[in-house]
Chain A
Amino acid sequence: MQEDRLIYLYQKAVNNSISEEEREELLVLLADPEAKELYHQLFDWGTRQTTPQEDLFSPQQAGALLDRINKVNEPGNRNSIFKLRPTLTWTAAAAVTLLLGLASYHLFYRPAPPAKANREMAQITPQPPAKAHVMLTLSDGRQVALDSAATEQIIEQKGIHAVNSGKGALTYARPTENDAAQPEIVFNTLTTPRGKYYKIILPDGTQVSLNAASSLRYPTIFSDGQRKVELTGEAYFDIAKDAGQPFVVVTGKQVIAVLGTAFNVKAYADESYIKTTLVEGRIKIDPRNGTEAKLLNPGEQAILENNQLQIRKTDTREDVSWMSDMFYFSDTDLHAVAHQLQRWYDIEVDYSSLPNAKLYGQLPRSTPLLQLLRAIEKTSDIKLKMSNNRVLTAH
């Protein structure tokens, strides 16, 4: 036994000069049954060495500790720890803290749904209808399916090139100064079906991620001192800075004016509100109903509903989680959850059957629908089922 070493380390601990590694070593040495006698001596000695120092616990901390002790002491409360639910769960992870780190990886690639997990469910669930494509509509009405291209694809129109990477992104070339022929301004529209999302890089370098069942209309070149796009559905904007050319996002009922910033807009026609969440920078929201436009600061969310524009602080993760291909619900209304499921799994929902409830949880969007429903069921008192014609109903 290394008595000298143990004594040396114990002294260092008492003098508060011990490193983390040394502390580990000390604990291992102390745990040795043969060291028990020495431990008694050292404990005794150490206690006498301890000079009066600042209290370890403030009165509040001590009070909190006493409360916890009293709670255990309450009669009949010996085992107050709740049982672990043995297996199933709703959230995928303790990783709320980690979610932020995910954004860069996995961004615009949606993995194929796990075939194996689906097999047993095929019998009870009708196969989803063949998935529609991500479509680009050109100014002349021509349509190009973007997500069926396995390799790079170049789309040319009126002097403007757009490159479809075949990996979930469409990039417009920045027009060069010395182009002989001034290209003509035409409008394109990118449309995503349910269950798919796509990224587009506009000619000014602005990046827009378009969530499922959404569409974005934009000019192939920005000019006249303004960059203006029109959105239905949901998108995340990372605007390229250009003070001389404000960026404007028009959705049905509101206009967002931007200088250089990142934000998420949710403006689906089948939901009664437009939700704008600012991640960084500053934006101004004009509800276009005669009332005053409002400025939004990072971490704030503007909700336009029933012609009323309200601003509140928010957990922005909930609104940008789709960028990491995750569902993230935090006190989210069940109806809002159902809308997301409808758009992602391409199902219909009997909204009138849904109870008023709030959900918490986090799961990859690649989770098969039935597993997800089962998870909700296991962790709340909400029972959800899919009928044969793919309608989600609560019962």
Chain B
Amino acid sequence: MGLKSIDNEEEILTQIAGGSQQAFARLFHGYVNQAGRIVYTIVGSREQTEEILQDIFVKLWKDREKLTSIKQFNAYFFILLRNHTLNYLTSLVAERKKQEQYALFAQKQEDKAPGYPDNRLDMLDKAIDALPMQQKTVFLLRAQGYRNPEIAHRMNLSTDSVKKYNQLAIKFIYRYMKVRETIFLSLLAIRLFK
């Protein structure tokens, strides 16, 4: 088994079940780097690793009353980590597929009527639509004038993650829009002003 239990684990779990945030913090710090390394090995991205861990620990707290009935927490956590990572990967791959389909669509549109403005507007709509949820949210919030720290605070992400998602979103849209920045900006303005 790859995950090490922490000292006084049983007692800590009982305290968590009783609502102790301090005990929860000890459990978190005891597992975060062990688990983080495993997930990171597979997904290869710090931001995504954080997202996966966040989801798991949120779930643990939510179901904290059940923690006392778990005999071997490290084994339980291991299964949780394994399953959640797979779920995350599956939705990640599904999102990428959506983006690829969009790329095909964009190519077809461009072949059909290159540079036609209404066409582009349509493409922009669809490009934004094809973004993964987090990227899309960050992108639209940025477009509405929110600043990174504010978005990070509201979305409960780190500022670095917000920056990264925004870069990814812009990179994606640019790749398929193939328009110059200013046109892109005006288009976005028109799109958002409708």
**A interface residues with partner B (beta carbon < 8 Å):** 10, 13-14, 16, 18, 23-24, 26-28, 30-31, 36, 39-40, 43-44, 46-48, 50, 53, 55-57, 62, 64-66, 68-73, 80-82, 84-85, 87-98, 101-102, 105-106, 117, 324-326, 360-364, 366-367, 371, 374-375, 379
Contacts and interface: CB of A to CB of B under 8 A. Distances in A.
Given A53-B37, A89-B144, 10 more contacts: A13-B44, A31-B92, A47-B3, A65-B32, A68-B156, A71-B156, A82-B154, A84-B144, A93-B185, A374-B193
A84 B134 CA distance: 12
A69 B141 contact: no
Contacts of A14: 41
B126 interface: no
A70 B25 CA distance: 9
A67 B142 CA distance: 23
Interface string B3-21: 1000000000000000001
Nearest to A85: B144
Interface residues of B, number: 67
A56 B86 contact: no
Contact of B33 (A39, A57, A73): A57
Interface stretch (B54-62, B65-73, B102-110): B54-62
Contacts of A87: 192-194
Nearest to A117: B190
Interface of B: 1-3, 21, 25, 28-29, 32-33, 36-38, 40-44, 46, 49-50, 53-54, 57-58, 61-62, 78, 82, 85-86, 89-90, 92-94, 96, 137-145, 147, 154-158, 166-167, 169-170, 180-182, 184-186, 188-190, 192-194
Given A46-B42, A47-B78, A65-B32, A81 B185 contact: no
Contacts of A26: 42
Contacts of B33: 55-57, 62
Contact of A40 (B2, B82, B167, B170): B82
Contacts of B189: 92-93, 363-364, 367, 371
Contact of B85 (A43, A81, A89): A43
A22 B142 CA distance: 32
Contacts of B185: 92-93, 95, 102, 326, 364
Contacts of B166: 94, 97
B188 to A, nearest CB: 5
B154 A56 contact: no
